[in-house]
Structures are given as C-alpha cells and as structure tokens.
Amino acid sequence: MRHALSLCLVSHPLSLSLFLLAYNILSYCSLSLSLCLSSLSLSLFSLSLSVSLCLSLSLSLSLSVSLLCLCLSSLSVSVCLCLCLCLCLCLCLSLSLSVSLSLCLCLSSPSVSLSLSRFKDLPDYVKIVEVGPRDGLQNERGLVPTEVKVELIQRLAAAGLPVVEATSFVSPKWVPQMGDHKAVMQQIDRQPGVSYPVLTPNIKGYQAAVEVGAQEVAIFGAASEAFSRRNINCSIDESIERFRDVVDAAKQDNVLVRGGCATSHGRLLTLASYVSCVIACPYDGPTDPAVVARVARKLYDMGCYEISLGDTIGVGTPHAMAEMLDAVSAEVPPEALAVHCHDTFGQGLSNILISLQKGIGTIDTSVAGLGGCPYAVGATGNVATEDVVYMLNGLGVKTGVDLDLLVDASIFISNALGRPTASRAGAAMQAKRAAAERQRQREELEQQKKEAA
C-alpha cells in the first residue's frame, strides 16, 4: 500500500500538491498551538520562530503552486484557478496569523514571560515567620534600645506578618542583646491574629516567658554533634532530653512549642523547635540528611508542632536542600516543617523555592536581611523578608504581607542601626521611592517658578 501511495504521488503532480497543502495546514496548526500552550515564551524567540514558520510555509506553499502549474495542461482553467486561489489564501492566512501571533507574544511579554505552570505544586499561601527582632538583632554588637525593638515588632505586625518572633529568654550573660526580653514582651501592643513566639532554651527561660504572657515558645537543637557541644555544651540526644521539661510544661499550660535542628534550628506551635546545621556544620562539614530526619522526628514526637530546619551557615544549594527535605519529609509531615535559610552564598531564595516545591508552607525570614551566626565565619544574615515576599508575589503565592509597609519597617531598623538594608528588593524599592520624590520636588519647584513669573 505504501508503494502504491508513493507511485500515485510521483505520477500525479496534482495529488502531490494537494498532499503538501494538507501537510502545510496541519503543520501550521500544530506549531501555532504549541506556541500558545508553551509555558515559557521569550518575546524575541517567539518572533523569530514565527517568522521562520512563515517563511517555511511560504516556500512550501510556493512549491505547491509550482506543482499545480504542471497540471495546467490536463486540468480545466476553472479548476486550476480555484486551486491557485485556495493556495494563495492559505499563504495570506499563514502570513497574517504568524505576524499576529508574534505581536501578541511581544506585547504580552516585553522581556521574558514565565508561566506559573513552570512552578508546579506551589502552595496557595505561605506563612512568613519574621525572626528579625530576635535572630536578626541578637548578634548586634551595640545594644539596641528596647523602644526600637518594640517599634520594629509593631511595624512588622502592622505590615501583615502573621508571626513575629519577639525575643529570647536566654541568660543576658550569654546574649546581652536579649537582656531586655521581659520589657519587650510587656511593651508590645499585641495585634489580633499575630503570634509573638519567644525562644526558650530551658525550663527557667520558659517559666520567665510565660510570666510575661508568652503564648508560643521555641526550642532549638542541632543536627551536628560538634555544633551542639560548642553551642549548648551537650550532645544532640542530651539537648533533646533537656527540652522535655519545657515541652511537658508547655502542654500543661496549653502553650504552643516550635522545635528545630541545626544546620540551624526548629520550632513548635505553642512549642516550636529549631534545628541548626541541617545542610552543613562549620566544624563537622556536610550534615547527613538521615541525622536531620532523626532529630526532627524526635522533636515532632516530643510535641513540637512545627520544626524549623535551618541552613545555619548558608552553604546549602537547591540540590542539597531537596535531598535533606526528602529525608525529613519521610519522617515528619511537610506541613509540620519550616525552612530557615541564610544567604551567605546567595542561594537563599533558590533554596526557598525548592522547599516550596517540596511542600513546605512556612518560611523563616528576617527584615532587611538582619542576622548571622557567631559560630560560622563569613555567614551573613537570614534571607531578607522583603526579597521573599517580592518573589512570592511574583509567583502568585499569597502571604498577607503589605510589601510597602514591610519596606517602611526595613527603613526604620536600618536607620536605627546606621547601615543600609541587605535586602535587594528593599533597596530597589527605596531607590524608586527616592527617585519619585526627587521628581515630585522638581515639578513642585517648576510650578512655583511659573506662578512667580
């Protein structure tokens, strides 16, 4: 049958021309549909591709017309004219549709148009846990006034952040910056729907926190033996046992606990936990994901409602983050996990994005990129809240955070500390505001000159 079809097409130019015509139309339709359904379209690429499509169809259709000319001697004039007219109409349609498609793609995407379908399985909503007032400020060399801390917390809550970690009930001997923890908790004006968790390393700190109205506390552990011993002077298992009294007391008091492991830290819902060094340790090197999973599971079984997994020294990459999350998610439900990324190597946002794709819906961030790790040389601050919110807004993921008010809070604390923000998005928005203000002043001055004249 294939031989018969080939013989027919070769022997009859009319059959060949009609076959090419049908092939051209089908090719155009399929390629146009592919362009329309494509999840990644670059405007210049789309234009060149459409032009190439147009040229190829034109050449192919010209060939069809040439073949038809061979049939003129055996066909009536009217039939030949009809066929030529049909081919010309198809050529015009091909040209117009190709140009229209190119223009539509260029107008809808001036530079690069990324369809959100490229980022599959993203959550509709992400809870941002703001750790700036505690984790961000605790390593500041100069003491930050209590009123500045309180004002920062108020501004962050007003920006729509659902969780603002307020302070840490650790010994002022070890962390002098947090020595005013009671005053901070007593002075903040708590807003409905906003949680103000505090870090409590032991039962003494927990009791002091509850006395001043703390309704959610966080404990912290590590996934690195060396980090645990240098940070809290005990092994991983010993540190977890030390927290048992805190967890039991929190259950009796109906207080949420957040837990964590290191490569950074973990948290619970009235009891949350931080886990440090989940990717790597400044002393031990890379952390075994299985160890992180074991620590997270112990904290979860103990009663921590949420485990925050921290890349304490910021060396993680998306691959390492995905590998670690796969291991931990096999032991702890993803909805009970959070990630806490530092941006030492500029991988913070990438690691957060891969975490979202792995089902994580809670992200720790720090306004203006405040923070660091005193045990990790070169470790920079946490991922800036402004950068994360900006990225999530672009992905269509809801956070409930007002980015403009968040930038206001960032400007406030940056001015108070006497240094520029570490947030790229925050710095860009500040520059845009400054440019708009200069333009307004110029226009106002010109208007005054006109009125004076």
Q: Give residue 14's Cα distance to chain centre.
A: 59
| Partner residues linked to 112 by β-bridges | 42
Other Cβ atoms within 10 Å of 72 Cβ, number: 12
Q: Give Cα separations from 84 to 68, 74, 80 (angstroms).
A: 8, 15, 6
Maximal C-alpha separation, the chain: 105
Nearest to 339 by CA among 401, 261, 395: 261
| Helix 385-395 vs helix 424-452: crossing angle, to nearest 10 | 90
Nearest to 105 by CA among 54, 64, 44: 44
Whether residue 25 contacts residue 97, with contact meaning beta carbons closer than 8 Å, is answered with: no
**Residue 232 dihedral angles phi and psi, to the nearest 5°:** -125, 10
Other Cβ atoms within 10 Å of 248 Cβ, number: 14
Pairwise CA distance, residues 329 & 336, whole Å: 9
Nearest to 151 by CA among 330, 410, 388, 354: 410
Pairwise CA distance, residues 72 & 397, whole Å: 63
Taking the alpha carbons of 191, 187, 406, 370 in that order, is the dihedral positive or negative? negative
Q: Catalytic positions, please?
A: 373
Whether residue 251 contacts residue 211, with contact meaning beta carbons closer than 8 Å, is answered with: no
